């Protein structure tokens, strides 16, 4: 067929126009230069809507490894020799998250203590309880019929134990460490990106000018004591290497501020420990794993290290490591991080060494009828406290709040530079369907509506004790002179130790028999008490897609 030149030119022009429009559309949805909602330019140097259109995916923060989420059977699926009946199998789904590669070690916790002591000197009256409240209880090593004074004195601070898991830390202290770690990591990220003065985290930090992630996001100009020489308005052009850096503070839309470090939920911890990804075939799991490693035994079956123990645990009565020089697990108490092989997620010591705190409040039953997605019992919803000026109230040296724990220890609730928090009210939950109150620790199990004595509409005797779990009430207070008053509950009618202040801990420890190495096993302990066999590790939520893989239509 004969085609003239004019027809060819028209076809080429039409193709060019089509490609041009297609390119613009793609750029608007993926490149971030033009809005698909308004057609306006995004990231205009003159101002307007700014958005990190080049953001790819969340990278692992310091110490963390990714754990791709999925569904699994939570709870014991084999025998229950303790007859606890508290781990009935339920099907659960957890979202992808990050978890510490190892347990938090002594040297990691010592960095926290060092920072607190430098920034909030315990010699000053306003701060004397901050550092002391964060100190691990080293006396947990003592035994009435054993000599363990060496660990009491040396375990936390001596460099020989630097890479050993920290112990003597209660649940509350573990949570506060996680908050501190969040702020220090984000402070370092913002400094590296040019939003904070270089080295200010060391040279310019004082009790009145500390960095808080939430305070920075709420009001950058008030962060770090409102010092504009430290908190830079916009990226430092010299550090960024750009002359056209947008003159704004870092925000969540910048994509560089990381989610908070926190304790993993029980479901996350168990899912990460069992690491069924190693037994996956298509969309099914092949068989059951009794431990974080393959097989039904605690010894290594590979030829190179056959017979070696795969975890640090108590092997029998009076046997905490085996016979010296043969079949020894190389530890009598705890062991250094990464002594034993990791599981299929790359996580070390998810069985043995030390048991680990998780975020959940303990209840004998996991209520999968109430929820089977990111299951967690322990939500206490808070909100920023608003000051007289209508803005979020920043904690100062004079407004620090402390809690007196049941054992008499003083624990800080917040630190200067952070945003003061308060519980949500009924006004905040009006007409909400997904939650109706601030404290949900005993939701569907332990609140008045779920007690056997609950009588709808009967409020005649508000003093009646209608708790589901009749646990002891140990009281502690101070008199007018500041003396500590302790009142031990001597009642002989208490039936349980379960209440809203006991937390789950998972995994076996150096003090436990092999039975407790099963990730499905669960125990509980008061959140304000510590032991020589419970430590912890941190987790972080993953924002964005379930994994970094591209889908078929990308």
Q: Each residue of 39-48: pLDDT tens digit?
A: 999 888 887 8
> How far apart are the C-alpha atoms of 276 and 70, rounded to whole Å?
10
Global pTM reads 0.89
Q: Please, which residues have CB within 8 angstroms of residue 19's CB and are 6 or more apart in sequence?
A: none
Which residue has better confidence, 242 or 474?
A: 474
Hey, is 419 helix, strand or coil? strand
Tokens, residue 311: 């975890």
Which residue has better confidence, 281 or 59?
A: 59
- For the segment 193-233, what is each residue's pLDDT rounded down to a tens digit? 999 999 999 999 999 999 999 999 999 988 898 888 899 87
Q: Say whether pLDDT at 113 is over 50.
A: yes
Predicted confidence at residue 296, as pLDDT, reads 79
Is there a contact between 169 and 109 (Cβ–Cβ < 8 Å)? yes
Using left for φ > 0, alpha for ψ between -120 and 50, and beta otherwise, residue 462 falls in: alpha
Where a domain ends, among 240, 255, 270? 255
Domain ranges, residue 208? 194-255
Strand partners, 506: 356, 522
Residue 34 lies in a domain: yes
Where a domain ends, among 206, 223, 255? 255
Please report, in angstroms and rounded to a whole number, the separation of the first and last CA atoms in the chain.
39
Residue 217 lies in a domain: yes
- For the segment 461-495, what is each residue's pLDDT rounded down to a tens digit? 544 555 678 889 888 877 666 677 888 889 888 88
> How sure is the predictor about 279, in pLDDT bands with cuts at 50, 70 and 90?
low
Residue 31 lies in a domain: yes
Residue 379 lies in a domain: no
Is there a contact between 322 and 329 (Cβ–Cβ < 8 Å)? yes
- Please work out, in degrees rounded to the nearest 5, the angle formed at the alpha carbon of residue 438 by the alpha carbons of 434 and 444: 60
Q: Domain tally for the chain?
A: 2
Counting every residue written for the chain, the total comes to 554
- For the segment 522-554, what is each residue's pLDDT rounded down to a tens digit? 999 999 999 999 999 999 999 999 887 655 555
Residue 358 lies in a domain: no
Average pLDDT over residues 386-394: 89
Predicted confidence at residue 213, as pLDDT, reads 96
Predicted confidence at residue 215, as pLDDT, reads 94
Could you say which DSSP state residue 28 is in? I
Average pLDDT over residues 225-243: 66
> How far apart are the C-alpha atoms of 235 and 245, rounded to whole Å?
6
Tokens, residue 82: 């303790």
Where a domain ends, among 236, 255, 274? 255
CA distances from 85 to 69, 81, 412 (A): 26, 10, 37
SS3 content of the chain, % helix, strand, coil (to 5): 25, 15, 60
Residue 74 lies in a domain: no
**Sign of torsion over alpha carbons 22, 28, 30, 33:** positive
Residue 85 lies in a domain: no
Is there a contact between 508 and 329 (Cβ–Cβ < 8 Å)? no
Strand partners, 299: 309
Question: How would you classify the pairing of strands 484-487 and 475-478?
Answer: antiparallel
Residue 462 lies in a domain: no
Four-CA torsion 355, 359, 364, 368, nearest 10 degrees = -120
Is there a contact between 222 and 215 (Cβ–Cβ < 8 Å)? yes
Average pLDDT over residues 315-325: 86
- For the segment 142-191, what is each residue's pLDDT rounded down to a tens digit? 999 999 999 999 999 999 999 999 999 999 999 999 999 999 999 999 99
């Amino acid at each position: 067929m004969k085609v003239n030149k004019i027809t060819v030119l028209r076809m080429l022009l039409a193709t060019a126009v089509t490609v041009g429009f297609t390119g613009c559309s793609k750029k608007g949805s993926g490149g971030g230069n033009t809005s698909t909602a308004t057609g306006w330019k995004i990231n205009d140097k003159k101002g307007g809507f700014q958005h990190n259109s080049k953001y790819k995916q969340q990278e692992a923060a310091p110490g963390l490894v990714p754990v791709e989420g999925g569904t699994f059977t939570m709870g014991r699926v084999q025998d229950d020799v303790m007859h606890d009946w508290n781990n009935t199998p339920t099907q659960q789904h957890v979202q992808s998250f990050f978890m510490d590669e190892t347990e938090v070690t002594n040297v990691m916790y010592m960095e926290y203590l060092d920072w607190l002591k430098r920034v909030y000197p315990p010699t000053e009256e306003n701060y004397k309880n901050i550092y002391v409240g964060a100190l691990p209880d080293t006396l947990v090593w003592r035994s009435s019929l054993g000599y363990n004074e060496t660990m009491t004195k040396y375990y936390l601070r001596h460099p020989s134990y630097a890479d050993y898991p920290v112990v003597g830390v209660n649940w509350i202290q573990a949570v506060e460490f996680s908050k501190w770690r969040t702020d220090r990591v984000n402070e370092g990220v913002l400094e590296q990106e040019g939003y904070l003065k270089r080295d200010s985290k060391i040279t310019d930090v004082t009790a009145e000018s500390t960095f808080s992630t939430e305070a920075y996001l709420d009001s950058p100009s008030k962060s770090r004591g409102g010092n504009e020489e430290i908190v830079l308005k916009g990226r430092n052009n010299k550090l960024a290497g750009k002359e056209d850096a947008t003159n704004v503070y870092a925000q969540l839309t910048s994509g560089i501020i990381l989610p908070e470090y926190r304790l993993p939920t029980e479901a996350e911890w168990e899912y990460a420990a069992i690491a069924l990804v190693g037994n996956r075939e298509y969309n099914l799991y092949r068989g059951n794993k009794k431990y974080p490693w393959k097989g039904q035994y605690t010894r290594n079956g590979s030829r190179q290290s056959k017979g070696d123990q795969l975890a640090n645990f108590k092997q029998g009565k009076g046997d905490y490591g085996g016979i010296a020089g043969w079949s020894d697990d190389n530890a009598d108490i705890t062991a250094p991080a990464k002594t034993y092989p990791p599981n299929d997620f790359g996580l070390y010591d998810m069985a043995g060494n030390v048991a680990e705190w998780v975020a959940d409040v303990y209840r004998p039953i996991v209520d999968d009828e109430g929820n089977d997605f990111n299951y967690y019992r322990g939500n206490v919803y808070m909100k920023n406290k608003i000051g007289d000026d209508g803005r979020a109230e920043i904690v100062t040296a004079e407004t620090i709040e402390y809690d007196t724990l049941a054992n008499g220890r003083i624990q800080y609730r917040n630190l200067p530079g952070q945003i003061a928090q308060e519980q949500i009210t009924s006004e905040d939950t009006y007409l909400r369907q997904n939650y109706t109150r601030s404290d949900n620790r005993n939701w569907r199990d332990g609140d008045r509506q779920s007690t056997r004595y609950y009588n709808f509409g009967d409020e005649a005797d508000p003093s009646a004790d209608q708790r589901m779990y009749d646990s002891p009430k140990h009281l502690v207070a101070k008199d007018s002179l500041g003396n500590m008053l302790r009142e031990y509950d001597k009642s002989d009618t208490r039936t349980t130790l379960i209440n809203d202040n006991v937390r789950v801990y998972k995994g076996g420890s150096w003090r436990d028999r092999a039975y407790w190495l099963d990730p499905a096993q669960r125990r509980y302990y008061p959140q304000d008490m510590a032991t020589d066999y419970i430590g912890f590790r941190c987790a972080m939520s993953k924002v964005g897609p379930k994994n970094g893989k591209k889908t078929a239509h990308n």
